[in-house]
Amino acid sequence: MDFNVDKDGYYGEFGGAYIPEILHSNVKNLRESYLDLMNDEKFKEEFDSLLRDYVGRPSPLYLAKRLSEKYGAKIYLKREDLNHTGAHKINNTIGQILLARRMGKTRIIAETGAGQHGVATATVCALMNMKCIVYMGETDIARQALNVYKMEMLGAEVRPVTSGNKTLKDATNEAIRDWCCNPSDTHYIIGSTVGPHPYPDMVARFQSVISAEIKSQLQEKEGRDYPDYLIACVGGGSNAAGTFYHYLNDERVKLVAVEAAGLGVDTEETAATIHLGRKGIIHGSKTYIIQTEDGQIVEPYSISAGLDYPGIGPIHANLADKKRAEILAATDDEALKAAMELTTLEGIIPALESSHALAAFPKMKFDDSDVVVLTISGRGDKDMDTYIDAIKNQKI
Ligand SMILES: *Cc1c(COP(=O)(O)O)cnc(C)c1O
């Protein structure tokens, strides 16, 4: 079975491009040019050199000895937390800004929840001297002040969104609205493997540098270029898609995606989209969505602002549907405990999102000889307030 995208942008029955008429020519243009541009030698050269000298790639593949001992397997961590701006998101924004420039665009818009994608976008816009507007829900602006200051210092305009719950879903709606009004000069940099085709495929390809590096790093360290398990957290799905990309059709590798259960999959306060979602259309693509009986989108909840999206990328909807990937869910408390465990055992403070991936370990059974690679999608600096609260309240 082929788990990659088909020519219409579908992964199995998920994906596609459900967009308003006014965006058709824009999206069609992007669809017709993105593969040619990405495969252009000059583009690849510039992308690779920025990933190396600006982002700091390749990110290390670190053998976590104490964690390995505890869970009885050989556990490697793919250190996306060491990238410039502190997460994997920069891989995608570097790629898309180069693409936007090649397409002659002069204005960049983006949506952001926790502010990580907003900061990564504002960063590359400063680098390339492009106008940058970031849509962000008012609730998130209040929760993520530091990232708002960073975006503004980098020269971006942060536009508060006051509709709905004033969070990521609403910011995405507003960015799409802006794009509809400015289709010719504006490129919309989507931050995850979501949105209409070709976005999920394009973002997955830019993030696939993660699994390309895992292959060569494992070859060097283990004498074989594949692991037994790959583990990553999923919000919209971009760090997981990048981690899985070159192994999607390699059945020797078990894929494990961990979504945010919030207070629990059996509560209303959750973001476990694949566990609880039903099929529907959100932000231009068909996927699983948490919704009410009559199709109203339910506001997701997770302690981690990067994971509380009501949908899931179509890539992962299909991987789950075809049982190619195992989908686990980790609660807020499990993620907090996992964050503390990594900090104590390995001296690495992970992002709360990545802590959900780490929370998979106590739920899994390994053989001693298993080689496991888990992607640490980001660093914990932005989550220190949450960690401090948890420590004060003796939750961890
Ligand atoms: C945004 C973010 C995520 C979630 O996004 P994906 O597209 O699912 O990867 C995960 N980890 C970190 C550190 C993030 O900033």
How many CA atoms lie less than 13 Å away from 274 in the CB half-sphere? 30
Q: Which long-range contacts (CB under 8 A, 24 or more apart) does 58-61 make?
A: 58/213, 58/217, 59/83, 59/210, 59/213, 61/213, 61/214, 61/217, 61/218, 61/221, 61/373
The active-site residue out of 68, 78, 377, 382 is 377
Q: Which of 74, 89, 105, 150 is catalytic?
A: 89
Q: Per the structure block, which two tokens stand in for 324?
A: 């190619």
pLDDT digits (tens, 9 = 90+) for 291-336: 999 999 998 999 998 898 889 999 999 999 999 999 999 999 999 9
Q: Which of 117, 119, 377 to mutate to test the pocket of ligand 1 (most atoms within 8 A of CB)?
A: 377
CB 169 within 8 Å of CB 180: no
Q: What is the pLDDT of residue 78?
A: 99
The overall pTM is greater than 0.85:
yes
Q: Distance from the CA of 21 to the center of ligand 1, in angstroms?
A: 30
Q: Are 112 and 136 in contact (CB under 8 A)?
A: yes
> Which H helix or E strand runs over 132?
strand 131-137
The whole-number average pLDDT for the span 83-112 is: 97
DSSP strand pairing (107-112 vs 14-15): unpaired
Report pLDDT for 165. Answer: 84
pLDDT, tens digit, for every residue of 3-37?
Answer: 999 999 999 999 999 999 999 988 999 999 999 99
The confidence score (pLDDT) of residue 305 equals 85
Tell me the average pLDDT across 238-267.
Answer: 98
Average pLDDT for the chain: 96
E strand or H helix that includes residue 149: helix 145-153
d(CA 172, CA 289): 15
**Cα 170 from Cα 188, distance rounded (Å):** 15
Q: Cβ neighbours of residue 313 under 8 Å, at least 6 residues apart? A: 192, 193, 194, 200, 234, 236, 237, 238, 241, 287
Alpha carbon nearest to ligand 1 atom 15, residue: 116
Sign of CA dihedral 117, 120, 123, 128: negative
- Report phi then psi at 107, rounded to 5: -130, 135
CA 10/CA 1 separation, integer angstroms: 14
Reference 123, options 158, 97, 161, 142; nearest CA is 97
Nearest residue to 208 (alpha-carbon basis) of 236, 246, 163 = 246
- Expressed in angstroms and rounded, the spacing between residue 223 Cα and the centre of ligand 1 is 30
